[in-house]
A = this chain, B = another copy of it.
Amino acid sequence: MATSDIQLDPKVKKLSIIGFSGDFDKLTAVFTLATGAAAVGYEVNLFFTFWGLDAIKIKQGRSPIGKGFLPKVFGLFMGGLKVAPVSRLNFAGISPKIFRHLMRKNNVATLEELVEAAKVLGINFYACEMAMHVLGLSKEDFIPEVKDVLGVATFLKLADGGQTLFI
C-alpha cells in the first residue's frame, strides 16, 4: 500500500478527521473544517468509517449496498449526501431541506458544494478497511477521489503530528 510509505513533512500543518457520522449537520461540519483548513495550506486527511462512508459512495440515493442480505438492509438507510438526516430535529427529512435552503439564501456553501471544494483543494479521502468489511463495501463503491483503503495504524501514522478530530 503506497500510503504506508508516505513521507511526513513536519513543517506542514495537518488536520485529520475521522468521519464516523452520516448525519447531514455533522458531515457539513467535517467538510467545513476540512475545506477551511485546506484553504490556509493545511494537509487534510479525511478517514471515513461506519455511517460516514455514506459521504463517499458513488451511488447516491437510498439503495442496497454490499453483497449479502443484511448489508442491503443498511444500504436502504445509508442514502448518501442528498438524503442524510440531521442529528437532531430531523422531522422526517424536512430539516436538512431547511438547512440547505438557509445555506443557499445566506450564501453559505451547501454540503455538496463543500465536497466539491474538498476535491478541488486536494484534500485526501480515505476509507476505513474494517467498516468496509462489516458493511460489505469495496473500493469500487466509492468516488475515485478516495485515495486508499486504510486500517487504523496507517491512519494514525498519517495523522501524526497534527490535530485529529472524531466527528
Oligomer: number of copies: 3
Interface string of A64-77 (1 = CB under 8 A from B): 00001011011001
Say whether A121 faces chain B, with CB atoms less than 8 Å apart.
no
Q: Which residue of B lies closest to A29 (CB)?
A: B20
- Residue numbers in B under 8 Å from A26 (CB-CB): 20
Which A residues fall within an 8 A CB radius of B?
13, 15, 18, 20, 22-23, 25-26, 29, 32-33, 35-37, 39-40, 42, 49-51, 68, 70-71, 73-74, 77, 88-89, 98-99, 101-103, 105-108, 130, 133-136, 151-153, 156, 159-160, 163-167
Selected A-B contacts with CB under 8 Å, 22 pairs: A18-B165, A20-B29, A29-B166, A33-B152, A36-B152, A36-B156, A39-B153, A40-B153, A68-B102, A70-B101, A71-B102, A77-B88, A77-B89, A99-B134, A102-B134, A102-B135, A103-B134, A106-B133, A106-B134, A106-B136, A108-B130, A108-B133
